Structure 1
Amino acid sequence: MQRKKFNFTSIIEWGTLLLSTGLVCFFLVIILWEIVSKGAGSLSWEFIAEVPREGMTKGGILTPIIGTVLLTLLTALFSIPFGVCCAIYLNEYAEDNWLTRIIRAAIRNLSGVPSIIYGLFGLALFVQALQFGTSMLSAGLTLGLLSLPYIITTTEEALMRIPASTREAALAVGATKFETIKDVVLPSAMSGILTGVVLTLSRAAGETAPILFTGAAFYINGVGGAIDNEFMALPYHLYMLSTQHQSIEEVRPIAYGTALVLIIVVFLLNLTAFYIRYKYRKNEN
């Protein structure tokens, strides 16, 4: 009787899992089909390589693409060094006491803060208090703060997966703790660290709320790209075309084309993360 009950429970669990997965994939396919079918017609070399013209009713999306790439690079520059160093300290140096447990809990809670809160914080701190103004620098710093909790958490989890025996073996042959971390622990955890970093940056590249208050512009005449000026970015560009443009029906094909390009960018970043993990795991084996 117990065996039949176990089998019945397993069937229910697997059925629920498959049903949930099927529903998610079903709606994902519908969304992708909607975007691809309506946005593929707008994709062309001119659409990618030209700047917006005539109130964004014509031309391409070169300016938002450049703004998104530079913004992502700024976010990586500000978040990766601090996030990785913080994770190394928490996992390798900090004692396991009430203070470090509070810090870890705070970091995990910050991961759940809505992105628009980060946007308001960036507006108050970087734009107004530090007087950086509405600029790519303010937006990059804001997205860097948003990315920090994710990078710290994923890096620390990657470090935790390294067995203590690996550290003890390095220390036993005369390596210092710093050398052990630099030459043994970090290379062993690199696949998890890089995967978490790339996935975090792909999320940051698609954020709209944080850059809404800190530097994103509705329209820029030309290519742009200066970090001390306002900029155009793909997610904000898509938002404006879809909801705020005076000729929404006229620019709808451009909006779908922009959405498709943004999905392709995020997909390529995620694909890069999976490739990095596969490559490192293959080398480890």
Structure 2
Amino acid sequence: MSMEEKRKLVSPSEKKISVSEQCRLIGLPRSNYYYKPKGESLYNQQLMKLIDRKFLDCPFYGVERMTSYLKHDLGHPVGEKRVRRLYHVMNLRAIWPKKNLSKANKADYKYPYLLRGLKIERPDQVWQADITYIPMFRGFMYLFAIIDVYSRKIVGWSVGNTMNVEWCRDVLMEAIGNYGAPEIFNTDQGSQFTSPIFTKALKDNNIEISMDGKGRALDNIFIERFWGSIKREKIYINPPNGGVDLYRQVRDYITFYNSERRHKSIGKVTPDEKYADKVKNVS
């Protein structure tokens, strides 16, 4: 059953069972039910869109350089304090460590990076995941996605207006239910991924945990490339007008990305075709 079909089963008028409990019972992440974009002032939304586009091209831009770009190149009278807060809201972290940009919870354990020198040669050997900001016609939301590194196939995703750990955990569990558990799961050091709630889900499924070095966005390069693809080829061309429109656009693009978009880096085949190596190797 698709997320859209599950959403239709939720009845907010039901008095005996809360919306949260209904979502839990049918396996629907609660954030997928509430399609209300997050808001900022119109000026901040304009800045966020400019930052997002520039950051895709220059992921090494920290707060200081982005502030200079906005102020001197585009003429916006902004200070570092505002840009730093917007980086935090947008979940942006430059490639190289910058002051106050790491969002990891200091109390949580940070796992080592396991992919350095690793030869990735089969589906479900390594999955990578991350959260990105999605600009809309009004407001913004977040997209969480999981990619199989070998095939570049998106094996799990969700849109929501929060970045809470339960949301990420629910998408992970759905992906495992659909495709089985990967051997290694790689993320950055964001607080959602260092949380015991998320790491327990990985450990319970005997998945090795890998985390990027602090500030090293390129350690998670494949999901970062996907963000560039979906934003340039879909979101920027037709900014979503509301959460439902965003959901449909993401769903349609991921279907296209997995089943039709051929990738030069994997032999000019689609992710679905490359992932099918798993079936060939088993049979």
- Same-fold status (TM-score > 0.5): no
CA radius of gyration, larger in: 1
Shorter-chain TM range is under 0.3
TM-score, normalized by length of structure 1? 0.26
Q: Which has the higher contact order (CA 8 A, sep 6+)?
A: 1
TM-score, normalized by length of structure 2? 0.26
| Structure with the bigger percentage of strand | 2
